[in-house]
Amino acid sequence: MLRALNTAATGMAAQQTRIDVTANNMANVNTTGFRRSRAEFQDLVYQTLRAPGGSTGDGQRLPTGIQVGQGTRTVSTEHIHIQGNLQQTGGSLDVAVEGNGFFQVVRPGGDVAYTRAGNFKTDAEGQLVTTDGFLVEPAISIPADAVSVTVSPDGVVSITQPGQTTSQEVGQITLAGFANPGGLLALGRNLYGATDASGQPIVAQPGQEGLGTVAQGFLEGSNVQVVNEMIDLITSQRAYEVNQRVIQAADDMLRKTTER
Amino acid sequence: MSNGIYSALSGAIAQERNLAIVANNVANANTTGFRADRASFKEVLARAQSGTQDSTLKYVDFDRVAIDAAPGSLRETGGRLDVALDGDGYIAVQTADGERYTRTGSLLMDSQGVLRTQGGDAVLAEGGSNPKPLTLPENAADIRIGRDGSIDADGTPVGRIRVVRFDGEEPLVKDGLTLMKTRGGVAPRVDDRTSVLQGYLENSNINAVSGMHELITVSRSFEAFQRVIRAFEQIDGRTARELGARS
C-alpha cells in the first residue's frame, strides 16, 4: 500500500516540475531571445518480485517475471534551441542571429556569458552593451557623433560621421557556437554560461563554422509557442489529478481495511 | 469457519499489489517513450494441508506483469535531435551494463559530439557485430535524420542509428530509466521496418483517461473483495450465535 502512495507522490512531483517549467516558458513568451525549456522524465528502477526465466518448479521456466515500478523522476529540463521568429524593429543596434550562434557578453565578474538577445545599446563611453549594461565581446566603440551605424550579415560594424560620405569600420561582432547548446547553463537575464556538457565555445565570424549570419534591424522573439505550452499545461494538470486519485484510492483501501 | 474468506482475502491482496503497478503507470503519464505494465492474475490451488477440510480452496496470485506494446501517440517538437519510432523497433544504447534498448528519442549531442539520451547513454551506430557510439561533427549546423535512421550532418553521411527488433513474445524486460534489456537468449535483429521520424517524440502509452480507468477498476475490485470478506464475517457471526443458542 505504501508503495502505491510513494509512487503516486513521485508522479505528482514530476507533474509539478513540468508545470513550473511551463509557467516559466509562458511568462517569457515576449522575452527577446528566450529559449523554452522542456522537462524530461524517466521511470525509476524496478523492483523484481519474481525474476523472468526463473524455474516454476516443474521443469518449466517463467516466460516473464513480475516487476513493479516505483514511479518517475525528472531527468532534465533541457533548453530547446530552436530559432525564434525574427521581428523587424528597425533599430540600428538591434541585431538577430539567423543560425546557431550566440552573442558574447562580459559579465561584471569578468567571465564571458552567451545570449541570443541582440537588443544592444551604447553606454556613456559609446561602448556597445546589452540592456543590462554588460559589454559586448569583442568590445565595439561607436563614436557619439556617428550619423548612421551599419551591421553587415557577417558582423562588420561600420559608421558614417558627419560631413563624410564613406563609412568607417569600427568593429566586428563575433558569434560563439556550442556542440551541445542544450547543455548551457541558464544564468537569467537572457544569459547562458558554458559548461562541461555544452563544450567549449567555437568562436567565429558570423557566416562561418555554421554559426549563422546576423540581421540588423531585427530581434529574435521568444521561441515559446503558446498553444504548445497550453497543451503541456493541460496534460500535466490532468496527470497530476490522476496521481492524486491514486493516493485517494490507496487511502480508501487502507480505510476500508481498518474500519469495522 | 468458511474457507472462502481466504480466497476473497487473496483477491484483495492481489488488487492492492495491482494498485502499485497502476500507480507506476500513472506516475509515468508524461514520461517520453514509457510503456505501461499490465498485471494478470492466476488461480492457484491451495496445497493440501493436514487439517484443511476443503481441498478445492482456491487462491488468486500474480501470474505475470507484461509490458503493453501499444505505441504511444506522437507529438511534434521540431527538435533536430528528437526522434520517434514508427513501428515496433527500439533504439540501441550503450550503458555500463551493456547494450540496452529504448523508445525515448529525446536525444542530445555531448561536448564531444557523441549522440546521447537524456540519461547520458551513448546511442549506438549500426555496423557489424560490435556497434560503436554515433559521433557527429561538433559544429554541425544542419542535421538531418532519414526515415531509415541514417544521419546527415551538413550533407555528409555520418552513420545510422542502430534500430533493432526482437522475435518472440515479450523479449524485453524493463531496466528502469526508460531502458529495457533482453531476456536471456533473445538476440536483437536490425530493424528495417521501423521508421525514424525526426522532430517528433513518442508520448507515454498511458494517459489520464486510461490511467483513471485502470485505477477505478482496481479500487472497485478491491471494494468487492472487501464486501465478500464482510459477508463471510457476518455468516460466521450468525452461525456462532444461532447454533450456539440452540445447544
Closest in A76, A242, A257 to B212, CB measured: A242
DSSP A54-88: -B-SSS-B-SS-EEE---EEEEEEEE---PPPEEE
Neighbours of B2 (CB within 10 A): 14
Give B 189-228 residues with CB within 8 A of chain A.
207-208, 211-212, 215, 218-219, 222-223, 226
Which residues in chain B have Cβ-Cβ distances shorter than 8 Å to A256? Answer: 222-223, 226
Residue B34 has phi, psi (to 5 degrees) of -75, 145
Residue A255: pLDDT band (50, 70, 90) is confident
Interface test with B, best of A38, A43, A70 (most B CBs within 10 A): A43
Instruction: Assess whether pLDDT exceeds 90 at residue A217.
Output: yes
Residue B50: pLDDT band (50, 70, 90) is very low
Lowest mean pLDDT among A20-34, A54-68, B97-111: A54-68
Interface test with A, best of B16, B19, B24 (most A CBs within 10 A): B24
Cα(B227)–Cα(A60) distance, integer angstroms:
37
Half-sphere exposure of B220 (CA within 13 A, CB side): 6
> How many residues comprise chain B?
247
Q: Which residue in A has a C-alpha nearest to residue B115's C-alpha?
A: A180
Instruction: Assess whether pLDDT exceeds 70 at residue A190.
Output: yes
Question: CB distance from A217 to chain B under 8 Å?
Answer: no
**Contact (Cβ atoms closer than 8 angstroms) between residue B126 and residue B150:** no
Instruction: Assess whether pLDDT exceeds 50 at residue B27.
Output: yes
Cα(A97)–Cα(A40) distance, integer angstroms:
28
Mean residue pLDDT across chain B: 86
The residue behind cell 516487476 is A67
Tell me the C-alpha to C-alpha distance, in Å, between residue B115 and each of A12, A198, B159, B200.
31, 13, 11, 17
Buried b (16+ CB within 10 A) or exposed e, B177-212: bbbbbbbeeeebeebeebbbbbbbbbbbbbbbebbb
Q: Cβ–Cβ of A80/B79 closer than 8 Å? A: yes
Question: CB distance from A46 to chain B under 8 Å?
Answer: yes
Q: What percent of chain A has pLDDT above 70?
A: 94
Mean residue pLDDT across chain A: 89
Q: Which one of A178-182, B97-101, B241-245 scores highest in mean pLDDT?
A: B97-101
Instruction: Assess whether pLDDT exceeds 70 at residue A53.
Output: no
Instruction: Assess whether pLDDT exceeds 90 at residue A240.
Output: yes
Q: Give the closest residue to A10 by CA, choosing from A183, A169, A243, A250.
A: A243
Q: Cβ–Cβ of B30/A15 closer than 8 Å? A: yes
Residue A40's contacts (CB-CB under 8 Å, 6 or more residues apart) are A74, A75, A76, A77, A78, B32, B106, B118
Q: Cβ–Cβ of B23/A202 closer than 8 Å? A: no
Bigger pLDDT: B48 vs B179:
B179
Instruction: Assess whether pLDDT exceeds 50 at residue B168.
Output: yes
**Contact (Cβ atoms closer than 8 angstroms) between residue B122 and residue B114:** yes
Which residues in chain B have Cβ-Cβ distances shorter than 8 Å to A183? Answer: 108, 110-111
Backbone region of residue A17 per phi and psi (left: phi > 0; alpha: psi in -120 to 50; beta: other values): alpha
Q: Give the closest residue to B151 by CA, choosing from B127, B125, B128, B187.
A: B125
Q: What is the pLDDT of residue A64?
A: 67
Q: What is the pLDDT of residue B247?
A: 58
**Alpha-carbon torsion angle A223, A227, A229, A232, nearest 10:** -140
- What are the residues facing B244 on neighbouring strands? none
Cα(A172)–Cα(A156) distance, integer angstroms:
5
Cα(A16)–Cα(A8) distance, integer angstroms:
12
Q: What sign does the CA torsion over B68, A65, B30, B188 have?
A: negative
Give A 114-153 residues with CB within 8 A of chain B.
none
* The three cell numbers locating residue A195: 559548461
DSSP-derived secondary structure letter, B161: B
Q: What sign does the CA torsion over B203, B209, B212, B214 have?
A: negative
Q: What is the pLDDT of residue A257?
A: 81
